[in-house]
A and B are shown apart, each in its own frame.
Chain A
Amino acid sequence: MGSPFSMNGGACVAMVGKDCVGIACDLRLGMQALTVSNNFPKIFGINDSVYLGLTGLATDVATVSDLFRFKVNMYRLREERNISPDTFANLVSTSLYERRFGPYFVSPVVAGINQTSGKPFICGFDSIGCIDFAKDFIVSGTASDQLFGMCEGLYEPDLGPDELFETLSQALLSAVDRDALSGWGAHVYIIEKDKVTKRLLKGRQD
């Protein structure tokens, strides 16, 4: 059966721009080589300025996204405000570490803008919650090697929202085309201080 992380396939990437961040994922859901669905998004809205990307075992992607929807709703009810991306990152970390010896097989990515400081924020995690804070980009999923190569080659700091969208999209599309377990279209979110643009990319359908 192989590793639980590569049973269903999928890819996710986040990038920082100038006063904006972007996060993108592919849409494939498979069982090993068989594609079951070509409309399985892996990015979940936490609130208007925080997004969570989850790759890995599809059942855990659903479980973990539901878990955070619940936790973030409880936070909003208690605090009467939206959770900031950095606080949410710590919530993700501690929640995953609770399952230290029986982890969820997911590699999460968080992207957002801190509404109080206006600062862009991205970070990634391993399956037991170790945070990877990055200034530039975060990748995850079965196409992570390809994404590292693409991002390292295409990324430059301080891109505007439109340039960031182009860079992010090109990085994701070219990366998933070299991975048999990812692809079949993509979702790209560009998050600015008071605007979020979600785009659907068709991509190669094979």
Chain B
Amino acid sequence: MASILPGAPQEGIGYSFSQAAPNAASEPRQHSFYPYSDNGGTSLGISGTDFTIMAADTRNVSGYSINTRYSPRLYLIGGEGPENKGARIVLSVVGFTADGSALKERLDNIVKMYKYHHGKPMSVSACAQRLSHLLYSKRFFPFYVSAILGGLDEEGKGALYSYDYVGSYEREQCRSAGAASSLIMPFLDNQVNFKNQYQPGSGTGHNLQAVVAEPLPRERVTQLVRDAFTSAVERHIEVGDGLQMMIITKDGVQEKYVELKKD
């Protein structure tokens, strides 16, 4: 006769030590490990005739907690030594910071080895394709990042490449990625590519003449970048603290830091 008391020694084949009766409190527990996290942040890149501006905020979050108010999301790629002296390529990575820095480390290694082997710096277009391959090489355990790569092309024009997390990429005039990209991207469409803007007095309907997008001057682009971020900071909790900007020209990379709201 089976005992009605839980935890009582069981009849038949049993062990000498007490066995807890299977009940709701001791059902099999499942533990799982999720290898990714989202550290928020937003990045932005705009290319001009002879420059490319890369920008990203420096807030690093997990959930509602702020890990740090200054973790750079912009990295110099190539150049000399750990300081990347003389580098002309900038990589921005948003999403999972650990994957971001691992990716940057790999790409930086590759670009530096390229110069060591060939005696000349890697072109941005080559670096862009290599980055795509790097991302795709982890197709089934991806780097959880949205990457943007900026530099100057072989003709000295601003070059900007954007990526999805498995390596699909495209050269563009401007791109925003990360947490507040949905806020910033339409603003860029409107203010950089003049989407939905028409020449005043050019008629109605099909007669309307669209404002043609032409590369903007540096001062204008810098102002747009700052406006885009101050706007995003107002409405997105994962964006704020600081704005890191890198301006790539033929003379090198100039780095700027601007404070953003810390609330």
A177 to B195, Cβ gap below 8 A?
yes
Q: Is A146 an interface residue (CB 8 A)?
A: yes
Query: Which residue of chain B is the closest to A203 with respect to CB atoms?
Result: B196
Q: Is B10 an interface residue (CB 8 A)?
A: no
B190 to A170, Cβ gap below 8 A?
yes
B160: min CB distance to chain A, Å: 18
Set of chain B residues within 8 Å of A170, measured between Cβ atoms: 190, 196-197
In Å, the complex CA distance between A153 and B180 comes to 13
Knowing A170-B196, A173-B196 are in contact, say whether A149-B186 is a contact too (CB < 8 A): yes
Contact of A178 among B189, B191, B232, B235 (CB under 8 A): B189
Query: Which residue of chain B is the closest to A152 with respect to CB atoms?
Result: B231
Size of the chain A interface, CB-CB below 8 angstroms: 17
Contact of B231 among A149, A169, A174, A175 (CB under 8 A): A149
Set of chain B residues within 8 Å of A202, measured between Cβ atoms: 205
Q: Is A145 an interface residue (CB 8 A)?
A: yes
Set of chain A residues within 8 Å of B110, measured between Cβ atoms: none
Q: Is B55 an interface residue (CB 8 A)?
A: no
Set of chain A residues within 8 Å of B235, measured between Cβ atoms: 148-149, 152
Binary flags per residue of B181-211, CB closer than 8 Å to A gives 1, else 0 = 0111111011100011100000001000000
Query: Which residue of chain B is the closest to A172 with respect to CB atoms?
Result: B196
Knowing A174-B187, A174-B195 are in contact, say whether A153-B231 is a contact too (CB < 8 A): yes
Set of chain A residues within 8 Å of B191, measured between Cβ atoms: 153
In Å, the complex CA distance between A31 and B187 comes to 28
A149 to B196, Cβ gap below 8 A?
no
Size of the chain B interface, CB-CB below 8 angstroms: 20
Interface SS of A by simple majority:
helix
A178 to B228, Cβ gap below 8 A?
no
In Å, the complex CA distance between A150 and B189 comes to 10
A146 to B231, Cβ gap below 8 A?
no
Set of chain B residues within 8 Å of A178, measured between Cβ atoms: 182, 185-186, 189
B240: min CB distance to chain A, Å: 14
- Max count, chain B CB within 10 A of own CB: residue among A148, A153, A202: A153
B90: min CB distance to chain A, Å: 24
Knowing A149-B231, A153-B228 are in contact, say whether A174-B196 is a contact too (CB < 8 A): yes
Set of chain A residues within 8 Å of B187, measured between Cβ atoms: 149-150, 153-154, 174
Set of chain B residues within 8 Å of A150, measured between Cβ atoms: 186-187, 190
The 6 closest A-B pairs by CB, nearest first: A149-B183, A152-B231, A174-B190, A145-B182, A173-B196, A178-B186
The 21 listed contacts between A and B (C-beta, < 8 Å) are A145-B182, A146-B185, A148-B183, A149-B183, A149-B186, A149-B187, A152-B231, A152-B234, A153-B191, A153-B231, A154-B190, A170-B190, A170-B197, A174-B186, A174-B195, A174-B196, A175-B186, A177-B186, A177-B189, A178-B185, A178-B189
Beyond the given pairs A174-B186, A174-B189, A203-B196, 12 more chain A to chain B contacts, judged by CB atoms under 8 angstroms and listed by A's residue number, are A148-B235, A149-B185, A149-B228, A149-B231, A149-B232, A152-B183, A152-B231, A152-B235, A153-B187, A174-B196, A177-B186, A177-B189
